Structure 1
Amino acid sequence: MKKESSTLVKSNQKEEVGSRKSEIDLYQLTANGLAPKLLTSNRHALTSTLTLVLAFLLTFSSSAQTAKKSLFNQDSLVLISNQFRFTEGASVDRNGNIFLTDQPNNKIWEYNTDGKLSVFLSPAGRANGTIFDKKGNLIVCADEHNQLWSVDKHKNVKVLLSDYQGKNLNGPNDIWIDAKGGIFFTDPYYQRDYWTRKSAELPNQSVYYVAKNSGKAVLVADGLNQPNGIVGTPDGKFLYISDIGAGKTYRYAIAPKGKLTGRKLIVSEGSDGMVLDAEGNIYLSGKGVNIFDKEGTKIRHINVPEDWVGNLCFGGKNKDVLFITASKSLYKIKMAAKGVE
């Protein structure tokens, strides 16, 4: 303690001497008429520095705004077809071909990169959300009997899941697959006119995980009103879940075995479907398409002239076209960003 006190005293003495020296130097500069010049010079240098910083910030802000504005051109929205009853479940295969569902008509359609629209599967288990696995199988939320299906390129159907602990699922709705082949899916309850039951067998509307080849669903997210849209980041670190019933979209960290942790509110808005682009922007469907950056700040809106947008995905040969399933129609719009599916 004494040594430290001694050192502190010496330090204070040095500071006092330095202060006196500065006063003397300033006095001499003033006497010689140099102080005003020095102060003026420093003021000019400071002004120049601030001007450069301000110019940089304005340029950066302008560039960011330009990037947002150039993400797409609203006038480039194109109607592909309006022959459906209600479109949903947009997904893309490895070649950029688009698949979508028309649940009331019990069909899965394909729109290929050559612009040909055709029926892929009918009947289709009242398919809702879909996604392709690494083997090229179409994984389907088959709502008719509350199942998950795998449909191969020859249109052979394999049931992957049909219940949760012996009870009917509410109705698998949307789906995402991780790098290990595990399936996350949302399970809200929407009463269907083609069901014989009139109520849910499960007490809650939740999110489940099915490990590859397990045939068993594990509850991974509850405490939600009505989970719907779901999508994960390409690095497998995070999962976005939209609680359309609460009007909120959350981000979870993905832990081993599909466990979800660290729920964080990202957007105070729900959605029917979700997709990400390569920049990490989040696209939420509903009344048109709202686009948010990865921090949850809204950056753009795509106006779609339909009552409701059910789902969306990137596709095309370069994965830079956004396909939008909206009510009775299918649309597309060219984007400056690319998808990550």
Structure 2
Amino acid sequence: MAASTASVTAARFARIPARWAAPRPSEWALAVLGRPEIGSFLEGPAFDRAGTLYVSDLAHQRIFRIDPAGEVDVLVEYDGRPNGLAVDRDGGLFVADYAKGLLRIVPDSGKIETVLAGHRLEPFRGLSDLVFGPDGALYFSDQGQSDLRDPVGRVFRLGANGDVEVLMEGIASPNGMALSPDGAMLYVAVTRANCVYRLPLRPGGGLGKVGVHVYSGGGTGGPDGLAVSADGGLAIAQFGSGRVWLVDSDGLLAGSVRSTEGKGVTNVAYGGPDGRSLYLTEAESGSVLVARLPTPGTELYSHGGR
């Protein structure tokens, strides 16, 4: 991808406090990053109606809750691998858990419910991210350890009626998920192929012609988390580059957001009172960053629909 035409620098919004950030052994970090110890690995930013931000910690099985002033506490710590997060209209927190499948947490009580542990009597390969559609359908990626050598990743749809559908399979590392403002186009970050797919959603179910929306580039990883602006633009967290690429509704480069804390930008979410703040999870420093953008994010399902 070419250099940005307009660059914005993100400032620190919050950092995991020292009492929770000290490096300690992590089975996940050793297997995935080759590091026996790590303080945290932040992912999955998601806002509720009150402006509370939830972020997951893949390394140590925690979900943090951050208030609008940037104060951090632990919502829950459990035996799982929480990754992507999304809030439903009742305030429940849905979790794409790499180890346990699709979960729902009630924030007030911390109660954890299993929504789906697998598909057709088989466990998932390792869920990564998820997004609600305007009709209440939930789309989620089953990434596992898929890559270009073993493209076995899948994308699922859980209908509001409980029906589960495999929308697409044979993907080399499906990761971040986002929907166009009208809910008609599903975007999927394909990390190991360094691109973002567009999946046209048919009204009666299934997909239209699937194609590449954006070819990405830079860093040591690939496109990770995604977020959509109200005008149909896409924010793409490019892991290992310290950048979020901003593309317009046609998939053309419009700008970038630069991290000042590290290169491990994993995911993004629009928030703030007017929706014009883009929040970034930065895994190297255990920080959440924020940048002001001219266009707000598309209205979240949890905030009343689109």
Q: TM-score, with normalisation over the residues of structure 1?
A: 0.71
2:121 is paired with a residue whose SS is: coil
Please report how far the alpha carbon of residue 275 of structure 1 lies from its aligned counterpart in structure 2 after TM superposition: 0.3
Please report how far the alpha carbon of residue 79 of structure 1 lies from its aligned counterpart in structure 2 after TM superposition: 5.0
Please report how far the alpha carbon of residue 279 of structure 1 lies from its aligned counterpart in structure 2 after TM superposition: 2.0
Partners of 1:124 and 1:142 within 8 A in 2: no
Query: CA separation in 2, counterparts of 1:209 and 1:284?
Result: 22
More strand by share: 2
Between the aligned residues of both structures, percent identity stands at: 23
Q: Which runs of 5+ in 2 are unaligned?
A: 22-38, 217-221, 301-306
Tell me what 2:85 maps to.
Answer: 130
1:256 is paired with a residue whose SS is: coil
Deviation digits for residues 185-232 of structure 1 (CA, Å, limit 9, x no counterpart)? 1111139xxxxxxxxxx9821111111252x53210123211111111
Q: Which residue type is aligned with residue 121 of structure 2? A: G
1:114 is paired with a residue whose SS is: coil
Partners of 1:231 and 1:276 within 8 A in 2: yes
Please report how far the alpha carbon of residue 106 of structure 1 lies from its aligned counterpart in structure 2 after TM superposition: 1.1
Query: CA separation in 2, counterparts of 1:294 and 1:123?
Result: 39
Tell me what 1:31 maps to.
Answer: none
More helix by share: 1
Tell me what 2:24 maps to.
Answer: none
Count of matched residue pairs: 259
- Runs of 4+ residues deviating >3 angstroms: none
Within a 5 Å distance, the mapping from 1:1-341 to structure 2 comes to 69=6, 73-74=8-9, 77-81=11-15, 83=21, 84-123=39-78, 125-145=80-100, 147-154=101-108, 155-190=110-145, 204-214=152-162, 217-256=164-203, 258-269=205-216, 270-286=222-238, 287=241, 288-304=243-259, 305-327=261-283, 328-340=286-298, 341=300
Query: CA separation in 2, counterparts of 1:293 and 1:124?
Result: 40
1:245 is paired with a residue whose SS is: helix
Partners of 2:12 and 2:287 within 8 A in 1: no
Q: TM-score, with normalisation over the residues of structure 2?
A: 0.78
Query: CA separation in 2, counterparts of 1:254 and 1:268?
Result: 21
Seen in structure 2, the aligned counterparts of structure 1 residues 273 and 102 have a Cα distance that, compared at 3 Å, is same
Query: CA separation in 2, counterparts of 1:124 and 1:300?
Result: 39
Query: CA separation in 2, counterparts of 1:257 and 1:168?
Result: 27
Query: CA separation in 2, counterparts of 1:229 and 1:258?
Result: 21
Please report how far the alpha carbon of residue 307 of structure 1 lies from its aligned counterpart in structure 2 after TM superposition: 2.8
Cα-Cα RMSD = 2.1
